[in-house]
Structure 1
Amino acid sequence: MIGVGILGAANIANKNILGITLADNVQVVAVGSRDKAKAEAQLERCGLAGAVAAYGSYDEVVGDPRVDAVYITLPAALHLPWVRKAAAAGKHVLVEKPVAVDGVELDAMLAACADAGVQLMDGTMWSHSPRTERMAAILRDPAAVGELKAVTSAFTFYGKQIAAGAGDFLKNDVRVKKDCDPLGALGDLGWYCVRGILWAYGFEAPTSVTAHAGAAFNEEGVPLHIGATLLFSGGRRGHFECGFDRALTQSLEVAGTLGTIQLNDFVIPRSVKQSSFVVTGEHGLRDCDTWDATRRDEVVVHLAKPQEVCMWERFGGLVQHIQSGGQPDAFWPRITELTQRVLFAVERSAREGCREVRLSL
């Protein structure tokens, strides 16, 4: 069993606590906050009071000998020092996205974990869903979607609605503060869109990115709405938009020459028991083009466990492998780095008049 220590009690989403507590091979052993009372209150809310140590500092969590790995839920601007401290202490790291605020910090985190021989993974739970694995199997079938041409994604929510009763989201939330999460909606929501596009293309790096016109920033310069096009070799494309400025949208469409894969609960499924997606094929119109005769098949995936649990069990398995003498899995830090560097390029393009930014990754 892997002991997990959590840094940042105030930032822990209930679903993420649930993900750890339901996993077969990990358990929460410590939670830390700058205010011990906050850590204790969070444990009380999650029904873990008395069973998990509550600390009034992050150093105490990292120093706890029962902690094999740390879950860093802090704002992105605080990730680097705690990734470094955790790695130096031999603790494996699962860090929330966005991972870094700039390329220099990203390089430092990757190097710290690699040098210490600890596993690094970001908290993109969608990557671990059985539905994602099922869609990947269909993409590998050349007779299903055909040659992949375009991937389109959107993830948005209306900030004022999300924060109803909790203050003004667009003024007070850490995700709109330059000194906390300077990538704003791009880091919080666009991360998933970019990850989805990269996943569909087998984590091939795009050749360039170009931000769309109309990006919106707050008075601190934090992105509140942004979109971009990613170009891949052979003229293949990825398009996305994200923002805090409209009702909840979470869509992904993977389109090829023969068909598409579509889902409209991309990041967070509508049910923890099952999720689905639509596969289209045999595209065409009938009766003088008066109706669309495209075949649409819904594929239902029954979920034994929520995707958050799947993520933690995979991470726990990687840590156990290392503890048994194995090496960290390089795949996870590699896709973390790729996702983050694409986000940086999108932000740069948006701030520089939507010019094309070439990538060499």
Structure 2
Amino acid sequence: MGDESIGIGILGTAAIARKNIRAIKLARNGLEVVAVGSRSKEKAASYIKEVEGADGALAYGSYEEVLDEPSVQAVYIPLPTSMHLEWVQKAAAKGKHVLLEKPIAMSNEETELMVKACSEAGVQLMDGTMWMHNPRALHMRSVLDDARAVGRLRTVTSSFAFSGSEEFLKGDIRTAKDLDGLGCLGDMGWYCIRAILWAYGWDFPHTVQASPGCSFTASDVPLHISATLLFDGDRTAFFECGFDRAPVQYLEVAGTSGVLRVEDFVIPRSEKTAQFQVRDGAFLADRATRVSQAAEERTVYLDRPQETLMWETFGKCIRAIKAGTSPEEWWPKLAAITNRVVLAVEESARNECRPVKLV
């Protein structure tokens, strides 16, 4: 590893880590995967041989050994949510920065403990919501902030779902109560809720209410969840997520004079381009015989994947800390408020869809 490189350790050999390891390799600010830990050294070594971007990384038979490796300055934690608190606290105690997969915690108390541990240790905590780092998000933000484009924002609608196979529903960690007990809500609803908060400029909903029809797997994790979020100023939002229907991942923000819509807001169809639509406020024409609303397709070009841009942002935070600044508080704050809304929706869904008030 070069003197200016930032060594990344990977805790676990989850499938999602493969994409992130490749993303780290493509980063332009000196990030390098230097260690992979698993429950056996043999499994870690096999994983390193298989995964693009892990070449040359050290294989360890435990997560503790990764944290003890001197060349590791930061860790990526794709472990089940039930294991996050333990390993974030241990990483922070060793002075390692943390990029944590979502959902970050199973309770607000766990969230607070993780944020506190990283803050007191002076290390960066960031969650892995990659779409926020796509330059498309900046372009969409400029549209939403332009009163002439969409007007005053009134409604945000989002949906993210896919159809899980029988094998998935029986054996994936996202459907295991003791591993990732938030199911589709933590896995997919997280992105929808983050998009709603983002669209409304990080304002916090005062009430959330799950919709009738929410369902749970045989192991009692959310299978399909939908909910309404209420914001000050007569603003509303609605989202749905599930492991039980054909793939969909759209985001729509409607204002008083226009609409912004994205058909692939979480995972773009291409790593090279990302599109979104801006629709004007026109409606019916020719004596109401046709719809005259115009839709302008806008394209944003990328020279590297959004996951790589996320890791580059994480790397910038680490370098700033090394230069003497404090950890960026914005990223753990976003993770904490997103997780809080996720848990409030789950509370409503498990209690006959009663409204849950948030401060």
Superposition TM-score tier, normalisation by shorter sequence:
over 0.9
User: Contact between 2:209 and 2:353, CA under 8 Å: does it hold in 1?
Assistant: yes
Residue 186 of structure 1 aligns with which residue? 185
- Root-mean-square deviation (CA), in Å? 1.1
Distance 1:49 1:301 in 2: 30
Q: Secondary structure in 2 aligned to 1:334?
A: helix
Q: Secondary structure in 2 aligned to 1:144?
A: helix
Residue 49 of structure 2 aligns with which residue? 44
Q: Secondary structure in 1 aligned to 2:233?
A: helix
Residue 145 of structure 1 aligns with which residue? 150
Amino acid of the residue matched to residue 297 of structure 1? E
TM-score computed with the length of structure 1 as normaliser = 0.96
Output one character per residue of 1:226-252: Cα deviation in whole Å (capped at 9) or x when no partner: 010010001101100000000110000
2:76 equivalent among 46, 50, 71: 71
Residue 138 of structure 2 aligns with which residue? 133
User: Contact between 1:258 and 1:281, CA under 8 Å: does it hold in 2?
Assistant: yes
Residue 24 of structure 1 aligns with which residue? 28
1:45, distance to aligned residue in structure 2 (A): 1.3
Residue 163 of structure 1 aligns with which residue? none
Aligned pairs, how many?
A: 354
Distance 1:174 1:250 in 2: 22
User: Contact between 1:10 and 1:42, CA under 8 Å: does it hold in 2?
Assistant: no
Residue 160 of structure 2 aligns with which residue? 155
Amino acid of the residue matched to residue 173 of structure 1? D
Matches within 5 A, 1:1-361: 1-25=5-29, 26-48=31-53, 51-160=56-165, 168-360=167-359
1:44, distance to aligned residue in structure 2 (A): 1.1
Output one character per residue of 1:307-345: Cα deviation in whole Å (capped at 9) or x when no partner: 000000000000000000011111101110000000000
Distance 1:14 1:256 in 2: 39
Q: Which residues of structure 1 form unaligned runs of 5+? A: 161-166
Q: Which residues of structure 2 form unaligned runs of 5+? A: none
Amino acid of the residue matched to residue 103 of structure 1? N
Distance 1:355 1:149, change over 3 A: same
Distance 1:334 1:250 in 2: 25
1:8, distance to aligned residue in structure 2 (A): 0.7
1:106, distance to aligned residue in structure 2 (A): 1.1
TM-score computed with the length of structure 2 as normaliser = 0.97
Amino acid of the residue matched to residue 285 of structure 2? R
Residue 164 of structure 1 aligns with which residue? none
Distance 1:117 1:43 in 2: 30
User: Contact between 2:154 and 2:255, CA under 8 Å: does it hold in 1?
Assistant: yes
Distance 1:45 1:305 in 2: 22
Distance 1:43 1:292 in 2: 55
Distance 1:248 1:306 in 2: 21
Distance 1:13 1:294 in 2: 43
**Same amino acid, percent of matched pairs:** 53
Q: Secondary structure in 1 aligned to 2:339?
A: helix
Distance 1:190 1:283 in 2: 31
1:210, distance to aligned residue in structure 2 (A): 0.3
User: Contact between 2:268 and 2:274, CA under 8 Å: does it hold in 1?
Assistant: yes
Q: Secondary structure in 1 aligned to 2:82?
A: helix
Distance 1:50 1:192, change over 3 A: closer
Output one character per residue of 1:271-325: Cα deviation in whole Å (capped at 9) or x when no partner: 1110100000141211111111111100000111110000000000000000000
Q: Secondary structure in 2 aligned to 1:143?
A: helix
Output one character per residue of 1:41-81: Cα deviation in whole Å (capped at 9) or x when no partner: 22111245651111110001111111111100100000111
Distance 1:153 1:18, change over 3 A: same
Amino acid of the residue matched to residue 264 of structure 1? E
1:218, distance to aligned residue in structure 2 (A): 1.4
Amino acid of the residue matched to residue 127 of structure 2? D
User: Contact between 2:18 and 2:52, CA under 8 Å: does it hold in 1?
Assistant: no
Output one character per residue of 1:184-207: Cα deviation in whole Å (capped at 9) or x when no partner: 000000000000000001111110
Distance 1:233 1:191 in 2: 21
